[in-house]
Structure 1
């Protein structure tokens, strides 16, 4: 029996979450627009100035050398104390205020979003991820959650706010306008406690893989700019961490969440045995879930045993996430199998 009132409140909360995420996205845009050059840029400039000072000091009197040397050490000490990683706001107070508002709007959007997902589950008296609309809402929620966790744990991750808010806004908007279906009861095959276990693990993994992919894409762009293969876009790219830091962020997120994806695949196989009498039948969803697992496993193996870093590893990670997206959209809409629960 569907509770129509709770279903209505779910839709309302999701709509309000979209508004809050929109405010957050535009606030992050404002932070990037108002922010000054990054601390990395300032440090590079300071090092350059100190180098020029040393060159000039070589031809200067001895007493002048002492003065310039002390000044150069002072500048370098201050820049090192400021930290290696950049902030999007840089030294701009206005950008800092806008950035904090963006984080607050993201947190409010997350609470509204979570309330919408919760009300959907209570309305249908089941877990709220049984079709593409519900899974999209839950995956977007997981991505926002992963970003907020990085912020709360002290990571300097506000640079992720702009792409994360955009993707969450896009995913939730498409779910609300294109993929939406009314709350309804489960099909018989989904009546199992494994729905709570298997799909929850898949939802959390998908959201975290999305955050890692954002870091990977930014790494490729940043590395190309550092190598001179791309323009620096007026200093915009200098406001994100160095390419090495981006590469490490993507790797750590993938390494952390890969065991959960592994568990999701195993839990799915156990559920398949209980529902259909076999652990594995190479159903399209099973096949593509396994492909995703193999590619991410290859990524982690290459980094752990062969020391792969940089562009080669990044392209493997991107290929894996493309398979994640096809496993969700392509398999659900283009292929048929026992996992055809798109609800479209």
Structure 2
């Protein structure tokens, strides 16, 4: 089952890559349409009551010529939309394969697959893509944002497989508690939504700059993204949803620490960075609710918050040692 899980992760990366390429095709084509085909020459009808030269006549097949000699070639084929739909289907397939990789990993380990950085990244990215599919179901107009989401999926899963991978091992004693499910599941869920929320946040900053007249790189990349206002609303909605869950996760971690180590807070590196993330996200929500604060300034706080989440996930486990140093590296 462990080998099957590894193979499914590789397949998921390839399918996410195919989805990303399809989104890139959609992004490049824009709103292109197929050209109209030449009209069938109208036959001249001779007889009583028919104008000279066949003027005003309609061909027997019902085809009506346009003034420029062309006729519509049937319903226009929107190649951009077709590529986008293919990308969405590929993303959904990749998500199913992604889930299968997590399930098989958990079955092989005989526990929830959250015991190390490799498994944690797989789960967080899965929550992110499921959240994206839910958003897309409600708001299909945001589909082009999928280019950036699938890019993030490819990068995260590739890093997990190539850099973070560790064989299945039993949980360390500190994690053998029912709080493992309570605390880690909420951290994983909140982190996955924060991951998803960072995508429209960055897209909003680019699109907002483009709408304000900035035509230099990289703002011109955002000219085919959804409107800045819709991206900003999505950013706020995702963060407002994830923040209470993250708050509960921090509190649950403190309760678990009290039960396991005899203190609720010990300024462990991971605890410190969790607190930093909480403060920044709280600052973002407060700034977003303050009319005098510009939306782009508030959104920069959301981006900074996710950078601290990445620091907590990767940097703390790589560069620091503490009671949470069981990430597998």
Instruction: Judge same fold: TM > 0.5, yes or no.
Output: yes
Query: Matches of 1:329 and 1:297 in 2, distance apart?
Result: 22
The equivalent residue for 1:56 is: none
1:272-313 deviations in Å (ceiling 9; x for gaps): 111111111111101110110011111111222445342210
The equivalent residue for 1:165 is: 150
Residue 92 of structure 1 and its aligned partner are, at CA, apart by: 5.8
Q: For residues 1-344 of structure 1, what are the structure 2 equivalents within 5 Å? A: 6-36=1-31, 93-231=78-216, 237-344=222-329
Query: Matches of 2:193 and 2:246 in 1, distance apart?
Result: 10
1:55-108 deviations in Å (ceiling 9; x for gaps): xxxxxxxxxxxxxxxxxxxxxxxxxxxxxxxxxxxx861111111111111001
Q: TM-score, normalised by structure 1?
A: 0.79
Structure with the bigger RCO (C-alpha within 8 Å, sep 6+) is 1
1:221-250 deviations in Å (ceiling 9; x for gaps): 111112223348897533212222211111
Distance 1:340 1:233, change over 3 A: closer
The 8 Å contact of residues 268 and 322 in structure 2, kept in 1 or not, is answered as yes
The 8 Å contact of residues 209 and 253 in structure 1, kept in 2 or not, is answered as yes
The 8 Å contact of residues 147 and 160 in structure 1, kept in 2 or not, is answered as no
Query: Matches of 2:219 and 2:166 in 1, distance apart?
Result: 44
The 8 Å contact of residues 198 and 235 in structure 2, kept in 1 or not, is answered as yes
The size of the alignment, in residue pairs, is 286
Q: TM-score, normalised by structure 2?
A: 0.83
Distance 1:158 1:304, change over 3 A: same
The equivalent residue for 2:53 is: none
The 8 Å contact of residues 129 and 135 in structure 1, kept in 2 or not, is answered as yes
The 8 Å contact of residues 7 and 120 in structure 1, kept in 2 or not, is answered as yes
Query: Matches of 1:280 and 1:157 in 2, distance apart?
Result: 41
Query: Matches of 1:147 and 1:109 in 2, distance apart?
Result: 13
Distance 1:110 1:228, change over 3 A: same
3-state secondary structure, aligned to 1:156: helix
The 8 Å contact of residues 24 and 103 in structure 1, kept in 2 or not, is answered as yes
The 8 Å contact of residues 128 and 135 in structure 1, kept in 2 or not, is answered as yes
Q: Deviation above 6 Å: which 4+ runs of structure 1?
A: 232-235
Q: Structure 2: which 5+ residue stretches go unaligned?
A: 33-75
Query: Higher Cα Rg: structure 1 or 2?
Result: 2
The equivalent residue for 1:75 is: none
3-state secondary structure, aligned to 1:185: coil
Q: Please state which structure has a larger fraction of its residues in helix.
A: 1
Q: Structure 1: which 5+ residue stretches go unaligned?
A: 1-5, 38-90
Aligned-residue Cα RMSD (Å) equals: 1.8
3-state secondary structure, aligned to 1:239: coil
Distance 1:342 1:270, change over 3 A: same
3-state secondary structure, aligned to 2:289: helix
